[in-house]
Amino acid sequence: MTDLIFKELERDVIIEPFDCGDQTINSFLNHLALLNQERKLSKTYTFCLKDSNKVIAFLTLSASQLNTGDARIFGIDKVPIVLLGRLGVDNNYKNKKLAIALIKIALEKSLEASKIIACRLLLVETTLDMKSYYLEKVNMGFEWFRDRKNSSILFIDLKKYEESTH
Amino acid sequence: MMTTPKEKEVKKEEKISEENFFFDDSEEIILTEQEIQDLEKKLEYKKIDDKTRSFFKSSHHFYKKLEEKEYTISLEEIEKL
């Protein structure tokens, strides 16, 4: 049995030798995650091995907005959102559903935030290859929003999440 | 079909990236007119299906269980999600 603990990123969490296979995400965890958290720019949550406090998966959430330019949506010109900015699972712990567990947690954390300051969407960006996986193969409530050059932006409606669970 | 070492490496990379997310927030997202209309329709009128509702409910129950267990969980329990 491998016991894990879910916790906020703190100074006592051991980051080395975390490697999710993506150097940008590794670098964020190594150099920016804690700094950004202390500056209240983003919040990072981790799954750590309970006995060693080594991080094996993490996600980062922050507040953001969608700008409607000159137009309006629901009478406002900025849609408040929660951004799932980074999510990484260590290579030694892939295919164990840690990413799904973290997305479930992201939904609940986003809902908690929306009850205090109101935010309507949880936004994520995934590769174009994985777009159909999240939209068609798994039913996690993702909706397509926009494609970028090599990626796709998806969202989950937090109002529908709240209505389904409360 | 034969797979070259390079193709194998690419497949391995794709597999690895499946469980990683990176949001490029270096540019502000400004909605287009079409996106505003589409988003409004999805948020106001689109119903969620039973499988999504089930996923939402399971997410809520998973988090409540995690809270009850003081945020401790085994990897094996997560694998059963």
Separation between Cα atoms, residue B10 and residue A120, nearest integer Å: 36
Mean pLDDT of chain B: 84
Tokens of B28: 């502000």
The stretch A91-108 carries a mean pLDDT of: 95
Q: Check: CATH 3.30.499.10 for A4-165?
A: no
Q: What is the band of B17 on the pLDDT scale with cuts at 50, 70, 90?
A: low
Q: Is B48 on the interface with A (CB under 8 A)?
A: yes
Beta strands in chain A (DSSP E): 3-8, 43-49, 55-67, 78-89, 121-127, 143-147, 151-157
Q: Is B68 on the interface with A (CB under 8 A)?
A: no
Where do the structural domains in chain A lie, given as residue ranges?
4-165
| Structural contact between residues A119 and A81, judged by C-beta atoms closer than 8 angstroms | yes
Separation between Cα atoms, residue A37 and residue A54, nearest integer Å: 18
From chain B, the residues in CB contact with A164 under 8 A are 48, 52-53, 56-57
B17 and A125 in contact by Cβ < 8 A? no
Given B20, B30, B71, which is nearest A87 (Cβ)?
B20
Separation between Cα atoms, residue A126 and residue A128, nearest integer Å: 7
- ipTM of this complex > 0.90? yes
Evaluate if pTM is beyond 0.80: yes
Where do the structural domains in chain B lie, given as residue ranges?
51-81
* Displacement of CA B24 from its chain's centroid (Å): 16
Task: Choose among A59, A64, A156: nearest CA to B20.
Answer: A59
